[in-house]
Structure 1
Amino acid sequence: MADKEQITSAGSATSANASEEPPKPLPKGVVLGKDGKPCRSCSSKSAFSSWATHTNAALKRTPKPPAPADDCPPDVEALGRGTWALLHSIAATYPEKPSPVQKEDLRGFMRLFSKLYPCWVCAEDFQSYMEREQIRVEGRNDFGNWLCKAHNEVNRKLGKEEFDCSKWEERWRSGWKDGRCD
């Protein structure tokens, strides 16, 4: 997906004669969203960081190379990290005003997801949570907050620190205000 044809971006030059230079191509792996901006969920961290470096002259960091891939089956911790990253990323891209079909699709996905999850104990716990706390699908904020509360319940069971749900969009959608995700 990320290897689709590269699209050029205007404004990436920083020299005094920037208006004379043609737009520079996006780094390999940067995928644009429907809004024409680089999509965080569709681009790798290194590609997104590379793009940010070229478009933000104030950014002086160089992207770190990605960690080597682990070619072993995931344990419960790796599975959990990947799962929460996927679910929170779905919440971050869920529409603010979803259609009735999108609402039902999300409900169905979460129902099936909770039944097919590889860790059966985790799956049963999540199904129980969904019975107690009906999934909220009225919009991005509604679902994002519901999911954050579900994640915090798991964190409590595991003795982990809870996340401040007022910051879920900053963590999973827009990136931290200090710029470390750019």
Structure 2
Amino acid sequence: MSEASSSSSREKQGSIPPGMVMGPDGKPCKICTAFRHWKPPANASKSTAQSQKSSATVMAAIAAETASSKTSPSATDTRPDYCPPDVEQLGRATWTFLHTTAAYYPEKPTPTQRVNMLTLIRALPVLYPCTHCASHLGETMKEHPPDVSGRVGLSRWFCERHNEVNERLGKEKFDCSIQKLDERWKDGPSDGSCD
């Protein structure tokens, strides 16, 4: 998702680091970019980066400092705890919230509960911080309207939307059977390892 949508922006903005996503304002979008992609271009010097004060150079400086302060090869991919979330952390937290909310949604919701759930879902394409993710969800919702008829329908709807994102990102799909969804988001495995 972000790689494809950033390629046309990259052409317009000149050379930006691979994986960096441009926001609708034409500037690098911190919340739309995975932390591991907050790296300075190979030809940028530290003094130039500090003098420009743009969000891209600030993000690059954070990544460079983090990389130099740690010795492990994966250090540049690790976001320090004191940093704002990146697109991956925000995505995981959002999916956790949505799947768990669906798992506890009533089997037979009242009209008010249905309206409230629809309001929550419809707010995401408008309010979600990653504009690329938000606009994609909005388009997807036009093709596949949310199912707020009950817990099972809502859980499957979120799982199917999540699997669409996973597929675009080259990740494995999740089994959307209600048994697997309940095991993951509500009850835990039958072996009691989560009790």
- Normalising by the smaller structure, the TM-score range is 0.5 to 0.7
What is the aligned partner in structure 2 of residue 173 from structure 1? 186
- Paired letter, 1:96: E
Counterpart CA distance in 1 for 2:140 and 2:104 is 23
Q: Secondary structure at the match of 1:165?
A: coil
Counterpart CA distance in 2 for 1:174 and 1:103 is 23
1:132 aligns with 2:150: no
Counterpart CA distance in 1 for 2:147 and 2:85 is 29
Number of residue pairs aligned between Structure 1 and Structure 2: 114
Q: TM-score, normalised by structure 2?
A: 0.57
Give 4+ residue runs of structure 1 displaced > 4 Å after superposition: none
- Paired letter, 2:157: W
1:144 aligns with 2:155: yes
Counterpart CA distance in 1 for 2:88 and 2:175 is 21
Counterpart CA distance in 2 for 1:142 and 1:102 is 14
Q: TM-score, normalised by structure 1?
A: 0.61
Deviations 1:106-136 (A, max 9, x none): 0011101221111000000111111100100
Counterpart CA distance in 2 for 1:104 and 1:163 is 28
* Structure 1 unpaired stretches of 5+: 1-68
Deviations 1:69-108 (A, max 9, x none): 9221001110111000000111011111100110011001
- Paired letter, 1:112: A
Give the fraction of aligned pairs with identical amino acids, expressed as a percent: 51
Q: In angstroms, what is the RMSD of aligned CA positions? A: 1.1
Counterpart CA distance in 1 for 2:145 and 2:181 is 19
What is the aligned partner in structure 2 of residue 123 from structure 1? 134
Greater fraction of residues in helix: 2
Deviations 1:4-44 (A, max 9, x none): xxxxxxxxxxxxxxxxxxxxxxxxxxxxxxxxxxxxxxxxx
